[in-house]
Every structure is written in C-alpha cells, then in structure tokens.
C-alpha cells in the first residue's frame, strides 16, 4: 500500500471522533478506515533522521541522528525543560526558530489521560498535544506570552500535580472520572505566587476527546521494531500515538519516527 519513514501521526477532530493520518512520502493513509480491519507494518531495517534525512543506525530523541540531536532547535533542552528556555533573552540554537516556537503565546493545561497531569504547549498545538498524550479530558488554566513563563508556572505546579502519563493505564482506558478539572484549575491558580496568577486563563472550557477504538487492551504489550520485524493483525483502535492491535499488542508510532516501514492491508 505504501512505504515511507514513520512520523508522528497527524490528528484532527471530525465531528465527535479524532481522525488519524499516517503521512508517508508519497501518500497519506487515513487510519480510521482500518479500525476493525487487518493492517501490517513491516520494518525495512533503516532509520532516516527526521531533520536531515541521513541514515542513522540509532534514533536519538525520537527520530534524530546524533548530530541533529545535538544541534537541531527542535531537540534543544528547552523542549523537555521549558523553564530553562532562554529564547526571551536572545539565547537559543536558532533564534528564528525560537521566535516562531518559543516566543509565542503558550498555554499551561491540566489533562486527564491516566491521572491528572500538568503540561504546557504552544497555543497552536491545542488539542493536538492532548490527543498525542491520549487525554480524554483537558482544560487550559493559564496563557503566557512565551515558553519560559509557561515553564516556570509548570514547574511550580509540578510540586502538586504529576507531569507524566502512565501509558498502560491510558491505553487500558482507565478513566479517572472523579477528577473535576474546573475545581482543580482553581486550586492550581491558588497555588501560584501572586505575580504568576495574572496569567490565569479566563475561559473555562472543558475539552472531551473521543478516540477511534473498538476494544482497549487488557494487558498492553508494547511492540518495538528494535526487536520485532513486523506487526500484523486486526487494528482494534488508535489512542494517543499508539496503534492498538488484537491480542493486546500496541505500538508507539511516535517513538519510531524516522523508521522506514512498509504498510499493507
Ligand atoms: Zn540528522
């Protein structure tokens, strides 16, 4: 059907359900159409860096060759530790990239995938960021003019909220339905120092996200192309950046960014 290097699945919301697309070199596959049907992914034993395209024997930071991982702006430390972002001081690997990625409005949010977690994202990444994490509920709690301030707010809130998702609970679809995000938002804002409370987001929209899944795994077993040449079976659904196959097998597509694969029906 298609061959190409895997990339993070592209997502959109159409009506009620999240739509997933696998973007390959020459074609785009609408994955929702395959839910409930057979699908096979075969690894071709080649990884190409998602930044420069060169063949790399190992993937660093989800898809980079070693050189790009050390130099590419999208692999800079502030991606993982935004409170250390120094773009607002004019210091970054690539100031032009920083101007369109760090020095733009950011949101701090609370989301529920496994349990409640705090996170930040660029304003353009709503609701993509939550979908990638497999959250089913989310609320924006603060809006800041740049990445650094969002990171500082997040690091305060990390003392009270997790910043991690338990992927097994997320895939098993264990929903923490007792969590009230609006009251958690108010609690979070109250916990902030006065000078940061001014960034509180006024709107109180509760996002609910529905994934195309027929059956969730009971004991998810993660498959990786570092160990197995292919994954084949009935696609039971898609959640986060995972394809859910029958017999509880799951594969994290984003983790395999840059891996060359063949996709067949
Ligand atoms: Zn590279």
The pLDDT tens digits of the residues spanning 66-118 come to 999 999 888 887 777 898 889 999 999 999 999 999 999 999 999 999 899 99
Rounded distance between C-alpha atoms, residue 102 and residue 95, angstroms: 9
In a domain, 97, yes or no: yes
Checking DSSP bridges between strand 221-222 and strand 249-252, what pairing results, if any? parallel
Ligand 1 mean position to 65 CA, how many Å?
Answer: 4
How far does the centroid of ligand 1 lie from the alpha carbon of residue 148, in Å?
26
Residues 81 and 202 in one domain: yes
If asked whether residues 115 and 129 sit together in one domain, one would say yes
Tally of domains within the chain: 2
pLDDT given for residue 73 in this prediction: 86
Q: From the CA of 10, how far away is ligand 1's center (Å)?
A: 22
- Residue range of the domain that includes 19: 14-69+212-264
Q: If you measure from the C-alpha of residue 46 to the centroid of ligand 1, how many angstroms do you get, rounded to a whole number?
A: 14
Quote the ligand 1 centre to 256 CA distance (angstroms).
15
Q: Do 116 and 48 have their domain in common?
A: no
Ligand 1 centroid from CA 111, angstroms: 33
pLDDT classification of 20: cutoffs 50, 70, 90: very high
Structure confidence at residue 177 as a pLDDT band (50, 70, 90): confident
Do 105 and 192 belong together in one domain?
yes
Percent of the chain with pLDDT over 90: 85
Does some domain include residue 55?
yes
- End residue of a domain, out of 208, 223, 244: 208
* 83 and 204 housed in the same domain: yes
For residues 192 and 259, membership in a common domain is answered with no
Which of the listed residues 184, 208, 232 is the one where a domain comes to its end?
208
- 220 pLDDT band, cuts 50/70/90, is very high
Given the DSSP bridges, would you call strands 17-23 and 10-14 parallel, antiparallel or unpaired? antiparallel
State residue 195's pLDDT score. Answer: 96
Q: DSSP for 154-198, please give it.
A: HHHHTTTSB----HHHHHHT---TT--HHHHHHHHHHHS-HHHHT
Q: Are residues 178 and 92 in the same domain?
A: yes
Do residues 94 and 103 touch, judged by C-beta distance below 8 A? Answer: no
Tokens representing 58?
């190992």
Q: How far is the CA of 138 from the centre of ligand 1 (A)?
A: 34
State in Å: Cα 175 to ligand 1 middle: 39
- Measure CA 241 to chain center: 7
Residues 195-212 pLDDT 10s:
999 999 999 999 999 999
| pLDDT at residue 134 tops 90 | yes
Percent of the chain exceeding pLDDT 70 equals 100
25 and 97 assigned to the same domain: no
Res. 176 pLDDT band, cuts 50 70 90: confident
Q: Is 13 exposed, middle or buried (0-12, 13-18, 19+ CB in 10 A)?
A: middle
Query: Considering 190, 208, 226, which residue would you say is the last residue of a domain?
Result: 208
CA of 76 to the centre of ligand 1 (A): 14
Ligand 1 centroid distance, CA of 244 (Å): 30
Distance (Å) from CA 92 to ligand 1 centroid: 19
């Amino acid at each position: 059907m298609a061959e190409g290097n895997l990339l993070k699945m592209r997502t959109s919301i159409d009506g009620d359900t999240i739509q997933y697309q696998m973007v390959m070199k020459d074609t785009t596959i609408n994955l929702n159409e395959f839910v409930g049907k057979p699908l096979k992914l075969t690894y071709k034993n080649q990884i190409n860096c998602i930044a420069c395209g060169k063949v790399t024997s190992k993937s660093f930071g989800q898809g980079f060759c070693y050189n790009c991982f050390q130099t590419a702006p999208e692999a800079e430390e502030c991606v993982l530790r935004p409170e250390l972002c120094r773009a607002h001081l004019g210091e970054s690997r690539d100031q032009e990239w920083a101007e369109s990625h760090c020095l733009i409005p950011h949101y701090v949010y609370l989301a529920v995938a496994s349990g409640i977690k705090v996170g930040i994202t660029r304003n353009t990444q709503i609701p993509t960021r939550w979908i990638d994490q497999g959250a089913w509920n989310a609320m924006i709690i603060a809006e800041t003019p740049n990445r650094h301030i969002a990171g500082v707010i997040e690091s305060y809130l990390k003392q009270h909220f997790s910043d991690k998702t338990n992927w097994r609970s997320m895939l098993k679809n264990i929903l923490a339905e007792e969590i009230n995000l609006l009251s958690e938002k108010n609690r979070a804002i109250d916990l902030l120092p006065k000078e940061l409370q001014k960034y509180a987001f006024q709107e109180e929209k509760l996002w609910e996200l529905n994934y195309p899944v027929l059956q969730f795994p009971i004991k998810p077993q993660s498959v990786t192309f570092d160990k197995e040449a292919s994954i084949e079976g009935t696609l039971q659904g898609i959640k986060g950046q995972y394809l859910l196959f029958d017999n509880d097998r799951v594969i994290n597509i984003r983790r395999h960014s840059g891996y060359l694969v063949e996709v067949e029906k």
